[in-house]
């Protein structure tokens, strides 16, 4: 367990309020799925999204630091593998798994002090030609301005929320993270509310179809 980690304390196996917005976009960016598709969900929570990929015939592994979430996931989705594990550069080595076709990660990167380690772990967990799909709350000029004008920052980014959001991502900053990690063909979708004030964003990137290691941009 990571020092200072605050367990999210999952209590049920159903979808969160975000899944209603996210799932169709996750599948749209995930590409073709089938019985041979191997999926890793990084920060799987209670395993709901894993279950949706499992229903489509995929082979699914989920990891999360929440022991309660993993316990729920194991009971609910017995066809998948779930482990209490951090997302870092050695995640594939720790799992003792072959590289995956798809790495999925929803509403995780905004909670991380070291997002580059996480991004490298997701990249290394993919086979060459594999795809990464992640989501995080959207931030941009228009949304940030409205939050300021209406005095909503204290509730939107509440510093008293233990384990809450510590990184606020824009399309540009998340694109930079994925690009410097080595991902190509970056795609973006804004999700929820109105354009440029989106609730969250879904982005995908491809691991190049070669065995060359990722390099960071200068």
Give the neighbor-by-neighbor strand order of the sheet with 126-137. Answer: 81-84, 59-64, 38-42, 100-106, 126-137, 200-206, 184-191
Residues 6+ apart with CB under 8 A from 67: 7, 84
pLDDT on residue 4: 52
pLDDT tens-digit profile of 100-129? 999 999 999 998 999 999 999 999 999 999
Average pLDDT over residues 159-181: 90
- Write down the residue that tokens 């065995």 correspond to: 211
Residue 7's pLDDT is: 64
Give residue limits of the domains in the chain.
Answer: 20-206
Residue 206's CB is within 10 A of a number of other CB atoms, namely 19
Helix (H) or strand (E) holding 121, with range, is helix 115-124
Q: Which CATH class is domain 20-206?
A: alpha beta
Each residue's pLDDT tens digit, 31-81: 999 899 999 999 999 999 999 999 999 999 999 999 999 999 999 999 999
pLDDT at residue 18 is higher than 60: yes
**Tens-digit pLDDT profile for residues 174-198:** 999 999 999 999 999 999 888 999 9
Please choose, from the candidates 153, 192, 217, the residue with its C-alpha nearest in 3D space to the C-alpha of residue 19: 192
CA 107 to CA 44: how far, in whole Å? Answer: 10
């Amino acid at each position: 367990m990571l020092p200072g980690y605050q367990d999210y304390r999952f209590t049920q196996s159903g979808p969160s309020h975000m899944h209603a917005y996210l799932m169709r976009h996750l599948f749209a960016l995930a590409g073709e799925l089938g019985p041979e598709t191997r999926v890793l969900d990084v920060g799987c929570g209670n395993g709901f999204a894993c279950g949706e990929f499992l229903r489509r015939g995929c082979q699914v592994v989920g990891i999360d630091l929440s022991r309660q979430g993993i316990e729920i996931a194991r009971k609910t989705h017995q066809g998948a593998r779930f482990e209490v594990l951090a997302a870092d550069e050695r995640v594939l080595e720790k799992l003792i798994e072959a590289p995956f076709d798809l790495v999925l990660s929803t509403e995780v990167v905004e909670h991380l002090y070291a997002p580059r380690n996480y991004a490298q772990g997701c990249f290394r967990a993919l086979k060459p030609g594999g795809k990464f799909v992640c989501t995080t709350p959207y931030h941009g000029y228009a949304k940030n301005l409205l939050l300021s004008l209406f005095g909503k920052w204290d509730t939107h980014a509440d510093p008293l929320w233990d384990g809450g959001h510590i990184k606020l991502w824009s399309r540009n900053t998340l694109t930079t993270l994925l690009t410097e990690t080595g991902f190509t063909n970056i795609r973006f979708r804004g999700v929820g509310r109105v354009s440029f004030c989106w609730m969250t964003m879904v982005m995908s990137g491809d691991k190049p179809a070669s065995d060359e290691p990722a390099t960071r941009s200068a």
